[in-house]
Amino acid sequence: MKVGAEVSKRFITNVLGTLAGFLGTIYFARVLGAEGIGVFAIFQSIQMLMGATFGFGIFVTVTKFVSGSDDEARHFTAALFIVALGGLLSAIVSVLFRGPINETLGVDAALLLPLGVVSWSLFRVTGAFLEGEGRVALSGMLENGRYVAIVGIQTVFVVGGFEVLGLLWGLILGQLLTFVVAYFGFARVRPALPTRETLVTFVTFSKNTYIQSLAGQFFKQADYIVIGRLLGPGAAGIYRVSFTISESSMLFSAALSKVSFPEFSRLTAEERHEQVHRLFDRVVAYSGVFSIPLIAGALVVGNDLLRTVYQISPGTVGIPFVGEIGLASALIATLALANLFNGYRGTLDSYFLGIDRPRPVVLGSLALIGTYVAFVYPLTVWFGALGLGWTTTISFLACVGVLSTTLNYRPSASSLTDVGAQVFAASAMYFATTATVSVLGGSAGAIRLTAVILTGAVVYFALLVVSSSSIRNDVFWIAKDLYEGRT
C-alpha cells in the first residue's frame, strides 16, 4: 500500500463528507434554529454511544483480523452476530428508559434509537471489513458519502414538514442506504458460520478494543448529551455548530489513523520493524497539521464565522485571567485543541493495536474516561459550553500522556521538527490574519471573512513547505504516487 497516496485519498473523502454535513448544518440551522440542530445532535450522540456500548469493540477487531487472516467471512459473520445482539440490547434500554431519553431530547423519539444503532453498526462493520482488505480510501468514500445520503433524505423530510423528526429519520435511512451500497456494491462477502476458535479469538481481541471504542465516543457524543441535559438543546445546537467547524481539523489525522492501522498490522505480521518505526514517525509528524492552525485561526474569526455562515450570534464568555472573549472563538479553538490531542490519541492507538499491544490502549482509554467523569459536571456547570470543551481537551491530554509513557519507540527528531514547523507557521498565520482583520475593519461578512481565511491558509501552508524539507519531500512523493495511480 502506498500510504501517502492512500492517506490523501482518504483525506479528500473526509473533506467531501464533512462539506456535505457542513452545508446541511447551515441549512437546518437556518430553518430549525439552534434548538432543532441540538435535538438532532443529542439523538445522534445517544445512538453512537449505544452503538459503541453494545458493539463491544467489533469494528477495530474486524479490520485487525481481516487484514491479517484468510478467514474473512467468518470474522465478518461473527461481527454480524454482535450487531444483532447490540440491536436487541439497545431496544431494551430504549423501552426501559423511554421517559428520561425523551425528556433529554425534547421530542418523543426514544424508540427510533434501536433502528439508528443497527443501521449505524451495519455500515461500520462493512467499512471495517473493507479497511481490513486494504481498501481504506473506498471505505472512506462510502463512510463520508453517507453524509450526502443523510442530508439529502433529511432535506426531503424537512421540506415535507416533518421538522426535527425528519432529521432523525433521514439519519437512520441514510445510514441504512450506505450499508446496502457498501455491502452489495463492494464488500460482497458471503457470511460463513464462525468456528469456535474464530469466535474465541475474535471476542478475546474485542475485549481490548471495547474500552477504546467507548473512549472514542466521549469526544462529541457524550458532550452533546451532557450539554443537552444541563444546558438545553439550544446550547447543544451552538456546540454542534462549533464542533462541525472544529471537526475539519481532524480530517487528516483521522485519515492517517484509518490508513496506518492495517499497515502497522501488516508490517508487524511480516516482522518489518524498521518500516513500522518509519511509518510511526511520519504519522506523528502529520497528526496535527490542520488542528494547530485552526486553533490560531478560530481565535481571530470564530464569532464572525458563526454570525456570517450560520446566522447565529454566540455572544461572549468570561475566562479567568483573560476576560471577555467571543464564545465561538474560544469554543472552536478549544475543540480544535481537543482534536489535536485526539489525533495523537488515534495515532498511538493505531500503532499499539497494529503491533499487537492492546494493553496501553485500554489504559489510555480508562484515563480518558476517568478524567472526563471527574471534570465534566463541575466545569460544565461553572463555565457552560466552554467548560465542557475544556473537559474534553484535558481528557484526551490525559489519554495521550498515558499512551506516551508506554511507547517502546520514541518519535525521531525529524518528526518533532516537523511539528515545530507547524507551530511556527500557525503563529505567523495568527499575526497575519490579525493584521488583515485590522486592515479590513473586521472579519464579519462573506467577503471579509473569505479574505481573512484565504490569507491565513496561504501564509500557513507556504511557510510550512518552505521551513521543512521533509514535508516538501513528502508532498513531492505523494503527488507522484497519486499521478502514477491515475496513469
Q: How many CB atoms lie within 10 A of CB 438?
A: 9
pLDDT in tens, 9-37: 666 767 777 777 778 878 888 888 878 88
Same domain, 205 and 224: no
Same domain, 198 and 256: no
Domain total of the chain: 2
Closest Cα to residue 393, out of 469, 450, 336, 313?
A: 336
Average pLDDT score over residue span 216-239 = 78
What is the per-residue pLDDT for 487? 47
Most confident of 46-50, 76-80, 94-98: 94-98
Same domain, 250 and 349: yes
Same domain, 141 and 267: no
What is the per-residue pLDDT for 486? 52
Q: Tell me: pLDDT of 176 over 90.
A: yes
Q: Tell me: pLDDT of 392 over 50.
A: yes
Same domain, 93 and 193: yes
315: its cell numbers: 455572544
Q: Tell me: pLDDT of 218 over 70.
A: no
pLDDT in tens, 310-347: 777 777 676 765 667 788 889 999 999 999 999 999 99
Q: How many CB atoms lie within 10 A of CB 161?
A: 7
Same domain, 30 and 101: yes
Same domain, 14 and 163: yes
| Pairing mode, strands 323-326 and 316-319 | antiparallel
